Amino acid sequence: MGGILGTEKNWKLRDLIAALRNAYCGKVGVEYMHIPDRTQCNWIRDQFELRQYQTLSSAERKKIFNRLMWADEFSNFLAVKFNTAKRFGLEGCDSFIPGVKSCMDALQAGGAEKVIIGMPHRGRLNVLANIVHKPLETIFAEM
């Protein structure tokens, strides 16, 4: 067996089943077996299996919570102040903003200089405000 789970030499069957169930039977799934490059498949599998062994520090949890709160508050503000405008709020996609922001932070730390974001309308104003850091005055003027 490859991947992170393959690093353990002597698995008890119940521990192996629990580890695989934890990695692949939760609320998040990943589809990667259609990728023809084995190196890419192995990298994705390793990253996905490794996530169950990662823990976040208190500071990282607070940072994610802060991002989530900013996104939620901005969405609520738009709902109250512009209740007749088509604003495409975050309803049902609240964790999207901290997730994308974390990805952008990782890209920047890895040396990325340019990112192209393609997305549906849902949450676009929140993405502009909380990820791209477009000035709120500009967002409101364009609405």
Spans of all domains in the chain = 4-53, 58-142
* Residues constituting the chain: 143
Cβ atoms of residues 69 and 105 within 8 Å: no
pLDDT of res. 119: 77
CA–chain centroid gap for 16, Å, is: 27
pLDDT of res. 1: 45
Which residue in 44, 38, 49 sits closest to 4, CA to CA?
Answer: 49
Please, what are the averages of pLDDT over each run of 10 residues along the chain (143 residues)? 58 82 77 89 81 76 88 85 71 78 87 84 81 88 82
pLDDT of res. 59: 92
Percentages of the chain per state (helix, strand, coil), in multiples of 5: 60, 0, 40
Interacting residues of 127 by C-beta distance below 8 A, sequence separation 6+: 97, 100, 117, 119
pLDDT of res. 9: 66
pTM: 0.59
